[in-house]
Structure 1
Amino acid sequence: MSTTFTLDTSTSRANPTPTPMKRLTVPLIQGRKFEGRTDEPLVMLTAYTARMAQLLDPHCDMLLVGDSLGQVIYGLPSTLAVTLDMMCAHGAAVVRGSFHSVVIVDMPFGSYEASPAQAFHSASRILSETGCSGVKLEGGEAMAPTIRFLTERGIPVMAHIGLTPQAVNALGGYGARGQSQEEHAKILADAKAVTDAGAFSMVLEGVLENIAGAVTRAVDIPVIGIGASADCDGQVLVTDDMLGMFDRVPRFVKRYHEVANEIVDAASQYAADVRSRSFPTPDQTYQPK
């Protein structure tokens, strides 16, 4: 039996209630790709808070606690300043707020690159403190030994290749990858290397569409696209981008709503009511009995 959290309206705090539903597992996710194809694409979105996890969980196969929280939540210029403490805190919140999806937590920059032993120390901390199902790390062939080291010790790993935001300084920006034959070959080699190392799936970000299709066909683990191709085995987006929380819209994002406009409208109406003393009314205040 899994545990989810519902809001106690008397205290406005999250309280656990048992839910008779088993959480999806890493083997079930990996098994969705059979004989080179995934009949029903996998759905993945980012979540950073318990409440957002509650809302997204029924619709997703996986929830990603991405290091994108550095920009989305903390207003940082990139993901490079995100810490392990941040990832653990937000990862635990998302696990508490979900009961169905596999929760994957990003390993932040500097927490795994030095050695497989460093990566194991960081990943084991993430799993033990959050209760998540696995970790995600960036890098292809160079990180394959680390992926193997982790998976052989019982830590499920989702790889991340193509455009890798933690390497933005080395890449020279966020442009699409695969423009040259050399890059095309490297992306394919990276995909095969992380698969052979034991990754249960991979995120393929910001690559040309034909390369995304070639990678998806070349490996037997699910390929989750973001700025890639509809032919991938699944898709992931930053939820706040999909909801229209920011003015900038990356090319690969489809905006399904304009939540920011609704927040602005609500805040404007609230401010007007406060300034005109039309809020609170007797309905929102406590009267003598």
Structure 2
Amino acid sequence: MSTAKKSVKRVTTHVLRAMKEQGIKISMLTAYDYSMARIVDDAGIDVVLVGDSASNVIHGHETTLPITLDQMIDHASSVVRAVKRALIVVDLPFGHYQGDSKNALKSAIRIMKESGAHAIKMEGGEFIVDSVKRIVSAGIPVMGHLGLTPQSIYKFGTYTVRAKEEEEAKILLSDATKLEKAGCFAMVLEKIPRQLAREASERLYVPTIGIGAGNGCDGQVLVTHDMLGINKGFSPRFLRRYANLYDVMKGAVEHYIEDVKSGDFPKDEEAY
């Protein structure tokens, strides 16, 4: 039994802050449904992210932009029913906070009330500070997200590493500080140079969660379907595959089809 599973104490934003102070790395994975959330929570994950990556992974869209607030709430509600220990963070989807702090608060309240999740996550720097302040003032924890921000893919035009140049790196560090002061309890740093991520992690009092940002962050996050090898067409440098479930699952389905076609399934002992 893992150390994490010995305790059923709920992970909170306070717990994550204490983990950073104690040098304990934070583990975070995505989940979009009851069954997957049950597995990652039982395994002892610290944070479950109901990511807008569901737009790609579950709904088959090219980007994260099409997913709706109602869909995010539906995914989050399923995850909440499964999770007993982990902190549950839900992405605010595109179009529900950009440029309108009142709409941002309204959307965050809907997620919290209708799903039962514990926090929301927002992409962007200085331009979301007003929204962060308004949401935090309502008692809703906010996780920030800097670096590569997939909701802005059409602005950047590429998924390549962000903040490689000195000027953009300075802006990122400034934005991180502003988000922390606005009340963010943690920060995702996606696809930025490892040294920059380490510097940001050392500057900030709140935990940083890296994805493609090196080992200097206070924790790491991956998309569960990617790290389990359910998705085969996505292989960035930062992704470590811990299983190859696509082939395992495909093989099982092929075996089932063969048994049905041959009449081997069901056998007498499998019938009433």
Asked if TM exceeds 0.5, the reply is yes
- Counterpart contact for 1:48–1:94, Cα < 8 Å: yes
Alignment of 1:25-104 (within 5 A): 25-34=12-21, 38-58=22-42, 59-104=44-89
In structure 1, stretches of 5+ residues that fail to align are: 1-19
2:3 counterpart residue number:
none
Using the TM superposition, give the Cα deviation of residue 145 of structure 1 relative to its aligned residue in structure 2, in angstroms.
1.4
CA distance in 1, matches of 2:151, 2:247: 31
Could you list the structure 1 runs, at least 4 aligned residues long, displaced by more than 3 angstroms after superposition: none
Aligned counterpart, 2:100: 115
Q: Kindly provide the amino acid, as one letter, of the partner of residue 257 in structure 1.
A: A
SS of 1:99's equivalent? coil
Q: Select which of 139, 143, 152 maps to 1:154.
A: 139
Matched residue type, 1:81: P
How far apart are 1:31 and its partner, in Å?
Answer: 2.9
Q: Distance in 2 between matches of 1:96 and 1:223?
A: 27
Provide the secondary structure at the position in 1 that maps to 2:144.
strand
The CA deviation at 1:271 is 0.9
Task: Answer whether contact 1:54 1:97 (CA < 8 A) is retained.
Answer: yes
Report whether the alignment pairs 1:177 with 2:162. Answer: yes
- The alpha carbon displacement at 1:231 in A equals 1.3
The 5 A counterparts of 1:112-261 are 112-247=97-232, 248-261=234-247
Is the 2:65–2:151 contact (alpha carbons within 8 Å) kept by the matching residues of 1? Answer: yes
Q: How far apart, CA to CA, are the structure 2 residues paired with 1:77 and 1:199?
A: 29
The CA deviation at 1:94 is 0.5
Structure 1 residues 102-130: Cα deviation after superposition (integer angstroms, max 9, x where no partner): 00000000011131110000000000011
CA RMSD of aligned residues (A): 1.2
Structure of greater Rg: 1
Q: Deviations over 1:43-96 (max 9, x none)?
A: 100011111111101321110000000110011111000100110001011010
CA contact under 8 A between 1:138 and 1:160: conserved in structure 2? yes
User: 2: CA distance between counterparts of 1:110 and 1:283?
Assistant: 55
The count of aligned residue pairs is 264
1:270 maps onto 2:245 in alignment: no
Q: 8 Å contact 2:26–2:209 — kept in the other structure?
A: yes
Q: Which amino acid aligns with 2:14?
A: P
Q: Distance in 2 between matches of 1:30 and 1:110?
A: 30
Q: Which residue of 2 aligns with 1:5?
A: none
Residue aligned with 1:138, SS? coil
Whether the 8 Å contact between 2:99 and 2:128 is mirrored in structure 1 is no
Tell me the percent identity.
41
Going by fraction, where is strand more abundant, 1 or 2?
A: 1
Q: Give 1:24's aligned residue.
A: 11
Residue pair 1:26, 1:133 contacting (<8 A) in 2 also: no
Question: Could you state the TM-score of these two structures normalised by the residue count of structure 2?
Answer: 0.94
What SS class does the counterpart of residue 179 from structure 1 fall into? coil
Aligned equivalents of 1:260 and 1:53: distance in 2? 19
Letter in 1 for 2:25: P
In structure 2, what is the Cα distance between the partners aligned to 1:214 and 1:21? 33
Contact 1:206 1:226 in 2 (8 A): yes
Instruction: Report if aligned partners of 1:62, 1:103 keep a CA contact under 8 Å in 2.
Output: yes
Distance in 2, Cα, partners of 1:107 & 1:115: 13
Question: Which among 78, 86, 90 is matched to residue 105 of structure 1?
Answer: 90
Residue 17 of structure 1 corresponds to: none
Q: Which letter maps to 2:266?
A: P
CA-to-partner distance for each residue in 1:221-265, whole Å, 9 max, x for gaps? 000000001110000000000001122212211000001010111
